[in-house]
């Protein structure tokens, strides 16, 4: 796994490089003192993992993460502050390390990055086999998109409802919506996204899915009607 160390503090880069040198699966491909420098390297080189500081002059680590998008390398944030944990979850980074980083905590983060890499390499593009991975009690679980009935925002979590049970994911509904295929799912309410092919009926302004009632907000009603195959 090729990794790039990005931190404006030279001592922090040296400490991270020393930690990485003890992991056989890691190869430090380079180090950068700014996010912009890292961005330019990512345009030319194949990098699997970023060990990325957040607070840097110019472009922050969070801004870099947003700029490289979903198809970029796996990211582990390394920061001296806990203030950015929510943004980290929303950006689906592999882990969030607080400096100073201990060897055991570093190894734990690398194991999580390997899990994400393995999950990504197993992705299948056949429509009947599309899936997502969610973190549940520290374990990555695979959920087939075809099994999801609807999603419901609940505070800092989102419930993924299936016919058997629901799974709680620490994220925002907007962040998950961006990762779902638009052909299969549609937001129908500030707090709900539905699987279009699971809609059984629309009654009294609400969608019926597997005996559950999902509200439809007026703002989404016209868009929903245009997506349905009405006779």
Mean pLDDT of residues grouped by 10 in the chain (231 residues)? 96 96 94 96 92 95 88 91 83 90 95 82 49 74 90 92 88 87 91 95 90 92 82 60
pLDDT at 79 (0 to 100)? 93
CA 68 to chain centre: 13
| Contact of 108 with 85, CB cutoff 8 Å | no
**What does DSSP say about strands 49-53 and 74-79: parallel, antiparallel, or unpaired?**
parallel
Q: What predicted TM-score, i.e. pTM, was given to this entire model?
A: 0.56
Beta bridge partners, 108, equal none
* Separation of alpha carbons 87 and 121, rounded Å: 25
pLDDT at 230 (0 to 100)? 66
List domains and CATH numbers for the chain.
Answer: 2-121 (3.40.50.2300), 127-227 (2.40.50.1020)
Q: Which long-range contacts (CB under 8 A, 24 or more apart) does 138-146 make?
A: 140/115, 140/116, 141/167, 143/167, 145/180, 145/181, 145/184, 145/195
Buried b (16+ CB within 10 A) or exposed e, 14-45: ebbbebbeebeebebbebbbbbbbbbebbeee
CB-side neighbour CA atoms (13 Å) of 161? 17
């Amino acid at each position: 796994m090729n990794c790039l160390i990005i931190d404006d503090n030279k001592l922090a880069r040296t400490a991270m490089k020393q930690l990485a040198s003890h992991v056989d699966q890691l190869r430090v491909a380079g180090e950068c003192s700014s996010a912009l420098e890292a961005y330019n390297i990512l345009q030319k080189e194949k990098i699997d993992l970023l060990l990325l500081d957040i607070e840097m002059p110019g472009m922050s680590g969070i801004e870099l993460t947003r700029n490289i998008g979903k198809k970029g390398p796996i990211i582990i944030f390394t920061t001296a502050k806990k203030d950015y944990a929510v943004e980290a979850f929303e950006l689906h980074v592999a882990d969030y390390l607080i400096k100073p980083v201990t060897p055991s905590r570093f190894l734990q983060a690398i194991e999580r990055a390997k899990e994400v890499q393995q999950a990504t390499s197993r992705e299948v593009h056949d429509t009947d086999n599309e899936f997502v991975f969610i973190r549940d009690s520290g374990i990555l679980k695979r959920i087939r998109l075809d099994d999801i009935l609807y999603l419901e925002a609940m505070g800092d979590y989102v419930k993924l409802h299936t016919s058997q049970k629901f799974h709680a994911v620490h994220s925002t509904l907007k962040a998950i919506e961006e990762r779902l295929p638009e052909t299969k799912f549609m937001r129908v309410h500030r707090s709900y996204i539905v699987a279009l092919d699971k809609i059984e009926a629309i009654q009294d302004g609400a969608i019926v899915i597997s005996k559950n009632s999902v509200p439809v907000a007026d703002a989404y009603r016209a868009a929903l009607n245009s997506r349905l195959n009405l006779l």
